[in-house]
Amino acid sequence: MKVNLHAHTVRCGHATGTEREYIEEALRIGMTDFGFSDHTPMPFPDDYESTGMRMRMDEMDDYADTILSLKKEYSGRINIHFGLEVEYYPALFQKLMDFLEGYPLEYLILGQHCINNQYDGCWAGNPTEDVSVLKAYVDQAIAGMETGRFIYLAHPDLINFVGDEKTYLTEMSRICGYAYDHHIPLEINLLGIEDHRNYPNQTFWKLAGETGNDVVLGLDAHHIPMIDVPDAEKTAMDMVNKYGLNLKDPLQYLKPSEKS
């Protein structure tokens, strides 16, 4: 992989390694572009504490300073990109966008980890047969894409619905259809492959192939060894070929001024 825009930092509470180590490893394997997309801080209500999942609001300045100074330092050797991975939480989204306005972010990726607003919902990766959870996940992923703020949908198949397959396909086809109509790529998540998670979900990617979806690959690196994963990359490429997915370079979704 020459380009990866999906990586985390220690600020999220479940990643290791310094930013410099990530960049040096990316350089070592010949990457041209490496983007940090740590889990966004969220303007949660004061009585709610989110632990181990994302940086605090007051850590955003340090995140920005660190990535932007490394971007300068490594200029000419590798292109560093400044992004965030963001959930669409309806009660918080506008407030979050207002807060992020103050930062020169190059891109946001959508990763719908929880239902509702997290504090009043559940983790989307929990196995469930509850059709209302599946529907809520799909509704929120689409509402997120509708905001026009995201360059792609990360691990669209994070939702771990273990009920009726026909229902799964009916609901997930709404995500594939919306993404197709609006030229928003779906991400095959290499961490899911490497970690043997419930995603990538082959049923989903077969559907995406039939829909004609564009796809990108994302490492979702939380640890340095996750940068160089040729076996996971091969598995992802086999899926691209098997299901006839349209592989895209994620860089093409950055604004022209932000590509270098």
Contacts with Zn ion by CB under 5 A lie at: 85, 220
What residue type is 227 in one-letter code?
I
CB of 12 to Zn ion, least distance (A): 6
CB of 194 to Zn ion, least distance (A): 13
| Angstrom distance (rounded) from CA 29 to CA 27 | 5
**Cβ-based nearer residue to Zn ion, 124 or 209:** 124
Check if the beta carbon of residue 57 is closer than 8 Å to that of residue 43.
yes
Residue nearest to Zn ion (CB): 220
CB of 36 to Zn ion, least distance (A): 11
CB of 50 to Zn ion, least distance (A): 12
**Cβ-based nearer residue to Zn ion, 150 or 211:** 150
- Print burial letters for 191-214: b (CB count within 10 Å at least 16), e (below 16): bbbbeebbbbbeebbbbbbebebb
**Cβ-based nearer residue to Zn ion, 87 or 220:** 220
**Cβ-based nearer residue to Zn ion, 39 or 211:** 39
Structure tokens at 231: 């076996």
**Cβ-based nearer residue to Zn ion, 44 or 199:** 199
| Angstrom distance (rounded) from CA 238 to CA 259 | 28
Check if the beta carbon of residue 117 is closer than 8 Å to that of residue 90.
yes
CB of 48 to Zn ion, least distance (A): 19
